[in-house]
Amino acid sequence: MFNRCPGSLAGAPTIKIKTCPECGSEVEVFSNDVKVDCENCGFTVYNDVESCIQWCKYAKQCVGVELYSKLKRQRVAFVGVANAARSMLAEALAKEINTSSKLGFVSAGINPASEINPNVLEALQEENIAWRKKPKDIKMMGKADIIVLMGPEVELPHEIRKDATVIQWDVPSPNGRGGKDCLNTAKTLKVKINELLEKVTEGE
* Sequence-separated (6 or more) residues with CB below 8 Å from residue 129: 92, 93, 96
Chain centroid, CA 72 distance in Å: 12
> What angle is formed at CA 139 by the lines to CA 159 and CA 162, rounded to 5 degrees?
20
pLDDT at 3: 47
pLDDT at 178: 76
| Residues 167-201: tens digit of each pLDDT | 999 999 988 777 789 999 999 999 999 999 999 98
Q: Does domain 15-71 have CATH number 2.20.28?
A: yes
**pLDDT < 50: residue spans in the chain:** 1-4
pLDDT at 151: 95
Helix (H) or strand (E) holding 146: strand 146-149
Backbone φ and ψ for 167, nearest 5 degrees, come out as -115, 130
Domain 74-200, CATH homologous superfamily name and number: Response regulator (3.40.50.2300)
Residue 140 is classified by DSSP as G
Residue 45 is classified by DSSP as E
Domain boundaries, the chain: 15-71, 74-200
